[in-house]
Structure 1
C-alpha cells in the first residue's frame, strides 16, 4: 500500500513539467519543485538497486551537490527556499506559504536515504493537494492553503513526532549506527550514505582522524566516555539503572564515535543515534539537535526557524502534547533506560550573523505565549519519563578545517586542552572557592573598553565547615577543565554585563550589553543591526528565547588559561565554542541554573563539602508550581580575560578579597594559572 501510494504520487508529479493548468507565476514554482521531487525519485531507485553504493567518490560528491545546490549561499538569492525571493516572485502571503512548502519537502532527502517511503508519500501528497488547488480556475485564497498545511501538521504529528521520540530513546533505530560500525572508515564514500550535506569540513575531518594513531583516537574517545561516567559519580546518580546513551555529533568524527560506542557498551549502555530534525514538526528552530552534517546555508535555516507560525495554535499545541505524552507512555520502559546525551561539538566556522528579513515567517504575540507554554509542558512530560535527577550528559568540542591554515596544530592543541591534569585545577579552584565562600557578593568590573560593572549576590552558608557555595568543576560533563560556578542569589544582583563580541548558539553578537535588576534581565542591546528594535528582537528571540525576562542562573569563573592562550595564539577567540570559551574568563548564564530538575540531589565537592547554592527565588517555585520555575534555556556569556579590570569578593564586613586584576589571577595559591599567560 505504501509503495502503491508512492508510485501513484510520483507518477502524477512526473506530468507536472509539461502542464500549463496553473497560472504564472505559480506554475514556475510547482514545476521547479516537481523537478526536485523527481530527483528524489531518481535517487530512491539508485539506492534501492544498489547502484548508489557502488558509485565512486566523485560521483557521490556530485549527487550531494545536486541535492543541496539550490539552497547553497551562491544560489540562495533565486531559490524558492528564500522567503525574500519567494515573496518577490509569488507575492506577499503566497510567497511565505510556498517557501514553507518547498522547505518542508526538502526533508525528503534524509527520508529517502533512510528508506522512509511512508514519509515520502506524505510529502508528495501534500504537494499534490496544494498543486490541485492552484489548478482551479480561481487562484485559491491564502487561508485555503493554510488550512491544508494545518491539517498536514495535525494529522501527521503522530507520525513525525512520535517516531522522533522513539528514535531518541530506542537503540534498535540503528540507521546511523549501522553506517558507523559496518563501514570501512578509510573509504570516505561512507559519509555520503547518511543523507546529510557534506562539505570540506566533514571530508577533511574524517581524513585527519585517519592520520591519527589508534592510541590518540582511544584517548579522545576515553576522555569523552569517561567524562560521561564521572558525571554520574560526581552528582550521585546511579548509572547502573540506565541502559542507553544518546550520541550527538557532527559527521566526520566516525572513527572516534566508533571507539566511543565500544566504551559505552562496556559500561552497559547501548548507543542511540537520532538525526537532527528535518520537518517543521521535529525541528527546534535553526538549532541542530542530534547527529548532522554540514549546514548547507545558515541563513536558510534561520529564515525558516519560525515556520510553525503558519499553523501553531492552542488546538495544535494540545494535539502535539497529547502525541508526546502518549508516545512516552507507550515506550516508558525505553525512556526509563535513557541516561542522557553525550555530545561532540565542532567549531571553527566563520561566525554567522543573520540578516533579519521581514519576508520570513514570525510568530504572533499569542503564538509566542503558546510556544513558551508548550516548552514548559513538554519539559514536564519528558521529566516524568526521564527524570532529571536520574540523567546526566557530557559535551566536548573539536575544530573543523575551516578554522584556518593551522587546523592540524589547533586540533592537536585542543586534544591537549581536553586532557589537562584535572588534579592541578582541582587544587587551585578549591583555593578560589575558599575565598568566594567568605563573600557576601562578588564585584566584576570590565576594562579595556568593556563596560561591565556587575554585583553578583552570593548565598549565605549556615555551616562553612560542611557547606560551600561554588562547585569545583574539573572535567566530567563539561570538557575541558576548569571552572568554579554557583547559582547566584537574584535579590541584590545588579548592574551591567557587557562583552564586545561573542558567539552564542551558532549566532554572533557584537557589543552585547545586558542590564540586571535583582538578578532579572531589565534591559538589553547589541550592535548587530542599524535599528535598535532589530537588535532587541534578535536578543529577545535567541538569548531570552522570547521570554520577557530571564534570571541570572549561573555565575562562574573560568580557570583554563591554557585554552585562552591557545585561542589568542591562533587568533580564534571568537570561533571558540562556549564549552571552551566559558573556561576562558568569568561567565554568566541567563536562564535556568545548572541544577535544573535535579536541585534536591545532594552534591559534594572533592573536599567533602556539600554544595548548597543550587536554587534561586525563581527555581524554588518548583515546590508549588513547576510551570513557574523553569525557562528551558541556559545561555553562557563569557568576558575574556583581556576585557577584565577586576573580580573582587566583598565580605559582609566590607572586606575585599581580590581574585583577578587586569586579567591576571592575584589570589595567593592561584599563581600557576598565570604561567600560560606569560606567553600570551
Structure 2
C-alpha cells in the first residue's frame, strides 16, 4: 500500500498558510504591546519562523540530504529551549511565565507555547494543515492583546480589567480551537493505529541508511545522547543477535495469542511502539511480523495536551529533554476540558472507528519496546502548574471509561493481544553494555524451568482462602488478600502461571483477588511508577478498595495525597485491587542489586522481583469471558471481581481504564503465607526466601 496523506493539499490551504506566515513575521517589528508581552510574542514568532524554514526544506527534499552535523544543529535549535538551565528562565516554564506575564495570562501563554512545540514534528512530516491552524491560533491570541490596546495608559500597561478580558478571550480561542479541530486531533490516533498506509515512521525504519546517525534527525523528535549512543551500540551488534532480540519480541506477541487461544491469523496489523535508536531491531521485527502475515503501524508519541503529553511515553518516542517540563504541563488540558469538549471528542472517536470498522477488526494490538535507566526523577510541584478541578477529575474518569467502551466495541479485548519487552538506556551508567547483555539474558530465561517452579507455588496457593503478606525492616506492609473459592480444585485454579509471552521477561503467578476480605496496608519505602518517584508510598485497603493513600515526597499531607491520587489512582476517588501476584524472577532482582539499578528498573521487570499489587482493572479486562488455562490444563477462574461483573448491565461501572503495579522488593519482604479454611498456614516465602519444596533454585540469586 502506498503512503496516505492526512489532508488534501489545496490552493486555499496554501493561501491560508502563506498569509499566516507573513503576518507572524511582522509581529517582532511591531513592538506595540507592553514590553513583557512583546518579548513573549517575539520569542514565539521567531520559533514559528524556524518551523516555517524547516517546512520549506522538507518540501524541497533538503532535509533528507542534511549531514549529521546539520541535523544535530537543527535539533538543538528547536529543543535547546527545553534544556534545564534554559527552560527555567523561559516562557515555556509556567513559573517564569506567571512571574513575568502575570497570573491572569502567564500560565495560559506558557501552555499555548508548549502545545505549539508540536509544530516541530508537524513540519518534518510535511503537515501544512497543522502548521496553518497553529499559526492561525497564535495570531488569534495575539489579536486578543492588540484589541485591548485602545485605552492602555502611557506606561504601556494593561489595566486589570483589560487583562481579565484578554484572559477570557484567549481561553475561548484555545477552547474552540481544540473543539473545532477535534476531527484532526481525536481521529488521527485511530487512523494511525489501524491503517499501515500512514507510513511516515515505517518508511524511516525500513528505508533509511542505518550505517550512521543521520536518519535519527528525520523524525523531528528530540535526539539526545541516549538516542545517539543506542543507535551506535546496536549498529555494532552482529546480525544474528539483532534477529534474536527481535525474535524474542515477535514470538512473545505470537505466543500471547496462542496461550489465550485467540486466532492470530484473523489479524492483519500490529502496532510497534519503540524508542528512537532501536531501528535495527524494529526493522528486523517488521520483517518477522510480515512472515506472520502482519503489517506494521507506527505512530508518534503524544506531543500536545490534547493527546496527553507528559503522561508517559507511547508510540515512537525519544527520551525527554526535560522531565520537569513534562510534569509542569501534563495537566494543561485542564485549560479547556469540560463536558461539551469531552462529548465532542467521544463523538469523533466513535465516528472515526465506524469509518475504519473493518481495519479496526483486524488490528492485533501493540508490540511495545520500553526502556529504562534514566536518572531517577522527582518532580518539583510548582504552584503555577495547571491542575484539574474536582469536576474535571470526574470528567477524566468519565472520558476514560467511555473511550474505553468505544474502543472495545471496535477492537474487542477478547480478540486482540500485546507484548512488552524492556531494555536499558546508555544513561544507566558506565556498565551499560554489560547491563544490556544481562537484560537480554533475563528476557530469554528458560521459561519451562520457571513454569515448573511456579506451578509448585500455585499448588500451595490454591489450598488457601487468603494470602497474608508482611514487610520487614522499614516496610510496614501488612495485608491479607482474599481468593476466589474453587468449586472443583482438580480442574480449576486461582493463579495464572505466567511465562514470557505478553509480559517479557518470565516470572510471576497472578490472580484477580476477591475484593471482599482483601484488607490491610500496602507500603513501599521507595518505588518508581512510570517516570515518577514515590517515597514511603502507602495505600490502605478495605474489602479490596483503596480507602486512603499517601507518600512522603512533599511537605504537606495534601500535596502527598494529591500526588498519589493524580498519578496512581488516575483521579479516581478510590480503586479496587485488580491484581495480586508473586514475582519469581530472582535473576532480574540480582541483576538490579549487582549493578545498583533497582531504582531504575521498569515495572515490567520490577514486578517480577517480588510480590506486587495492582490498583485498577484486572489483568482480564474486557476478556473475562475468554477461558484461560494453565499448562497443567486447569482453568484460571479468577478473572472477575464485583465491578467487572457489571460489564453487561452497565459497562461504565465495570472498568476503571487503568492498572498500576506496585512491587515490594524481596529485601523489604518478610513473609507470604497461605491461610487455609481449616486453619493451616502454609508459607510460600519466609524472611524473603522461597520455601515451597521444589523452588529452592529461585533463592540462589538471592544469596
Does TM, normalized by the shorter one, top 0.5? Answer: yes
Partner of 1:93: 104
Partner of 1:249: 274
Structure 1 residue 50 displacement after superposition:
2.9
Partner of 1:552: 577
Matched, 1:68 2:68: no
Matched, 1:209 2:209: no
Structure 1 residue 572 displacement after superposition:
0.2
Distance, in Å, in 1 between the alignment partners of 2:476 and 2:676 is: 24
Partner of 1:400: 425
Distance, in Å, in 2 between the alignment partners of 1:531 and 1:250 is: 36
TM-score, with structure 2 as normaliser: 0.95
Partner of 1:123: 134
Q: Indicate the SS of the match to 1:623.
A: coil
Partner of 1:48: 59
Partner of 1:109: 120
1:163-312 alignment to 2 at 5 Å? 163-283=188-308, 285-312=310-337
**Aligned 8 A contact 1:602 1:610 in 2:** yes
Distance, in Å, in 2 between the alignment partners of 1:93 and 1:424 is: 63
1:204-603 alignment to 2 at 5 Å? 204-283=229-308, 285-603=310-628
Structure 1 residue 45 displacement after superposition:
2.1
Structure 1 residue 485 displacement after superposition:
0.2
- Please list every run of 5 or more consecutive structure 1 residues that lacks an aligned counterpart in the other structure: none
Distance, in Å, in 1 between the alignment partners of 2:191 and 2:585 is: 39
1:77 alignment partner, one of 80, 83, 88: 88
**Aligned 8 A contact 1:394 1:479 in 2:** yes
Q: Indicate the SS of the match to 2:187.
A: helix
Structure 1 residue 46 displacement after superposition:
2.2
Distance, in Å, in 2 between the alignment partners of 1:592 and 1:77 is: 38
Root-mean-square deviation over aligned CA pairs? 1.0
Partner of 1:613: 638
Distance, in Å, in 2 between the alignment partners of 1:521 and 1:677 is: 32
Structure 1 residue 95 displacement after superposition:
0.4
**Aligned 8 A contact 1:157 1:281 in 2:** no
Structure 1 residue 560 displacement after superposition:
0.5
Q: Indicate the SS of the match to 1:294.
A: coil
Task: Deviation per CA, 1:605-652: give whole Å up to 9, x if none.
Answer: 000000000101122121321110111000000000011111111110
The farther-off stretch of 523-532 and 423-432 is 523-532
The farther-off stretch of 193-202 and 614-623 is 614-623
Q: Indicate the SS of the match to 2:430.
A: coil
Distance, in Å, in 2 between the alignment partners of 1:179 and 1:497 is: 45
Distance, in Å, in 1 between the alignment partners of 2:122 and 2:648 is: 43
Structure 1 residue 653 displacement after superposition:
0.8
Distance, in Å, in 2 between the alignment partners of 1:44 and 1:434 is: 62
Task: Deviation per CA, 1:328-359: give whole Å up to 9, x if none.
Answer: 10111111111100000000001111111111
Q: Indicate the SS of the match to 2:35.
A: coil
Q: Indicate the SS of the match to 1:646.
A: strand
Distance, in Å, in 1 between the alignment partners of 2:472 and 2:498 is: 27
Q: Indicate the SS of the match to 1:439.
A: coil
Partner of 1:7: 18
**Aligned 8 A contact 1:276 1:283 in 2:** no
Q: Indicate the SS of the match to 2:534.
A: strand
Q: Indicate the SS of the match to 2:679.
A: coil
Distance, in Å, in 1 between the alignment partners of 2:208 and 2:102 is: 48
**Aligned 8 A contact 1:78 1:85 in 2:** yes
Structure 1 residue 516 displacement after superposition:
0.6
Structure 1 residue 22 displacement after superposition:
2.0
Distance, in Å, in 2 between the alignment partners of 1:579 and 1:277 is: 21
2:39 alignment partner, one of 28, 32, 37: 28
Structure 1 residue 52 displacement after superposition:
2.6
Task: Deviation per CA, 1:531-588: give whole Å up to 9, x if none.
Answer: 1110100000000001000011000000001100010000000100000000000000
Distance, in Å, in 1 between the alignment partners of 2:290 and 2:62 is: 34
Q: Indicate the SS of the match to 1:25.
A: helix
Structure 1 residue 285 displacement after superposition:
4.8
